[in-house]
């Protein structure tokens, strides 16, 4: 039986870290992720974990600490948000290219400027091509569950990639919800011991980490990274199946809500999915055939699976909680539209950028999106593809 409690998303993630008992945490505070290392430092001070807590001078140093620990053969974790993740930028690529499975709790926050401390996905989406696995949570429960699964995923012999576990700043990180924790011994058993094949302190096999990579080898190493990301998709599902057997909670690459006979659908990430589900339920009560796809795993992107999920709908709105400044839509839209390209009966597809800097999204806002999809179905005219939701003109 699980342990029932009322926790914020930040405390839930810190508890997951405590239960895993990593070797090293590199930590530097930034709102709204500060509570995670704050809670965890208490566990260190109280002797509840054996972790070496390294309080550093910047987020760049926090990730550097994690990279050094992983390269030496240890388990390393950290947490950050917004400009903190941006300051790690160089080291995100180093961790991924060196195949070091750091686990990072990313509490999503708008990225400067102007300065804004509220939620959107501009930080993690900006890092989407750094080579990290990215898993997103709708609720506090999902943030906890995703972190427990993440370390297993990244450390798998067919993957060996760092993992970014994302949750929405303040919306889940600070809000308190009922949550079911797993018993400490069960988490330790589920995650298991870490036994890397090669590491710096293994004297039997001397090695270098992060050496200069010449043109004769660089492309092959990038191909290996790409193959590892492909492998991650199957590993994520395999570990989710084990997690379901342990807890009864089911996870996939994404979640479908009312998609069986849907004629129009929304694709969305993060806590806004809860609002969108409420809109779907209300519209269903009115007899409208609407559905929703909530993306959980953005990297690796589940291209074929999402295409299949959207193969029978007539019109789709993809919701991006970040602005990519591509002049043609956001990152989730680009991936989803590409996924649908090979469908024989391609749905009409539009993009809404929404919720930037913490701009609220309401049930009626989502209902407006479905109303726009209805117009597309009725008229056969897609109209403007790249749109913004709830903007004062």
Give me the helix-helix angle, 272-285 and 363-379, nearest 10°: 60
Task: Report yes or no on whether pTM surpasses 0.75.
Answer: yes
Determine the Cα–Cα distance for residues 218 and 238; give it in Å rounded to an integer: 31
pLDDT at 178: 98
From the list 279, 273, 312, the residue with the least C-alpha distance to 293 is: 273
Q: Are 78 and 102 a contacting pair, CB within 8 Å?
A: yes
**pLDDT tens digits, one per residue of 283-322:** 999 999 999 999 999 999 999 999 999 999 999 999 999 9
Determine the Cα–Cα distance for residues 132 and 149; give it in Å rounded to an integer: 15
Domains of the chain: 3-247 (3.40.50.970), 254-388 (3.40.50.920)
**pLDDT tens digits, one per residue of 213-224:** 999 999 999 999
For residue 341, give every residue at least 6 positions away whose Cβ sits within 8 Å of its Cβ, in sequence order, or none. none
Give me the helix-helix angle, 9-20 and 140-155, nearest 10°: 30
Determine the Cα–Cα distance for residues 390 and 109; give it in Å rounded to an integer: 19
**pLDDT tens digits, one per residue of 131-151:** 999 999 999 999 999 999 999
**pLDDT tens digits, one per residue of 4-49:** 999 999 999 999 999 999 999 999 999 999 999 999 999 999 999 9
Determine the Cα–Cα distance for residues 21 and 111; give it in Å rounded to an integer: 31
**pLDDT tens digits, one per residue of 58-111:** 999 999 999 999 999 999 999 999 999 999 999 999 999 999 999 999 999 999
Q: How far is CA 339 from CA 260, 336, 342, in A?
A: 19, 5, 7
Determine the Cα–Cα distance for residues 14 and 28; give it in Å rounded to an integer: 15
- For the chain, give the number of residues: 393
Residue 1 has pLDDT above 80, yes or no: no
């Amino acid at each position: 039986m699980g342990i029932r409690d009322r926790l914020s998303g930040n405390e839930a993630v810190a508890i997951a870290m405590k239960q895993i008992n990593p070797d090293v945490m590199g930590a530097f505070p930034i709102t709204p992720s500060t509570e995670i290392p704050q809670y965890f430092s208490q566990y260190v001070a109280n002797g509840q974990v054996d972790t070496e807590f390294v309080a550093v001078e910047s987020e760049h140093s926090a990730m550097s600490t994690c990279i050094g620990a992983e390269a030496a053969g240890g388990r390393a974790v950290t947490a950050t948000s917004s400009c903190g993740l941006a300051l790690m930028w160089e080291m995100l690529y180093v961790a991924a290219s060196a195949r070091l499975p750091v686990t990072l709790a990313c509490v999503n926050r708008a990225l400067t400027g102007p300065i804004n401390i509220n939620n959107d996905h501009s930080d993690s989406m900006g890092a989407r091509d750094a080579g990290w696995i990215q898993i997103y949570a709708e609720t506090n429960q999902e943030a906890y569950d995703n972190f427990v699964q993440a370390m297993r995923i990244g450390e798998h012999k067919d993957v060996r990639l760092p993992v970014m576990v994302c949750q929405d700043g303040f919306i889940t990180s600070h809000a308190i919800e009922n949550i079911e924790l797993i018993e400490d011994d069960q988490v330790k058993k589920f995650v298991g011991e870490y036994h890397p094949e090669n590491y710096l302190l293994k004297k039997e096999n001397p090695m270098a980490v992060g050496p200069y990579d010449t043109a004769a080898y660089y492309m092959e190493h990038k191909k290996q990274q790409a193959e590892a990301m492909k492998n991650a998709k199957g590993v994520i599902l395999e570990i989710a199946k084990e997690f379901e057997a342990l807890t009864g909670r089911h996870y996939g690459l994404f979640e479908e809500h009312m998609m069986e006979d849907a004629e129009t659908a929304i694709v969305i990430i993060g806590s806004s999915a809860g609002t969108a589900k409420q809109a779907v339920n209300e519209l269903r009560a009115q007899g409208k055939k609407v559905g929703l796809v909530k993306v959980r795993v953005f990297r690796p992107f589940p291209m074929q699976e999402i295409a299949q999920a959207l193969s029978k709908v007539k019109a789709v709105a993809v919701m991006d909680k970040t602005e990519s400044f591509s002049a043609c839509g956001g990152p989730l839209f680009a991936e989803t539209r590409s996924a649908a390209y090979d469908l024989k009966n391609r749905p009409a597809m539009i993009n809404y950028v929404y919720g930037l800097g913490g701009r609220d999204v309401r049930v009626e806002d989502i209902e407006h999106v479905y109303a726009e999809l209805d117009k597309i179905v009725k008229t056969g005219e897609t109209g403007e593809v790249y749109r913004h939701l709830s903007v004062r003109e």
